[in-house]
Amino acid sequence: MAESYLDPRDREYAESLSDGERETVLATVSRFRRPDTLRIGDQMPDLELLRLEGGDRISLRSLLDGRALVLVFGSFT
């Protein structure tokens, strides 16, 4: 398992929270963030995704098709 990492910006945000919230944020963020996973210019990993419509599997690289691909990740809850 990769070593946990906490970005200074995350630490600053966590310090502004109550104890319970801080503990949850630090445990979650430090578990999933890694500073050395991907960098700008790295080749995209060949991942398989599930389409929202139909649930078919699709290769992430197949979406490139000679053009740029932008992936946006976030929580919308």
The reply to whether 6 falls in a domain is yes
The answer to the question of residue 8 being in a domain is yes
For residue 5, count other CB atoms closer than 10 A to its CB. Answer: 15
Residue-wise pLDDT tens for the chain (77 aa)? Answer: 445 567 788 888 888 999 888 888 887 777 666 666 667 777 777 778 888 888 888 888 888 878 887 877 776 66
Residue 53 falls within a domain, yes or no?
no
Question: What total number of domains does the chain contain?
Answer: 1
Domain range for 22 is 1-37
C-alpha–C-alpha distance, residues 12 and 2, integer Å = 23
Residue 64 lies in a domain: no
pTM above 0.75, yes or no: no
CA distance 50 to 8: 33
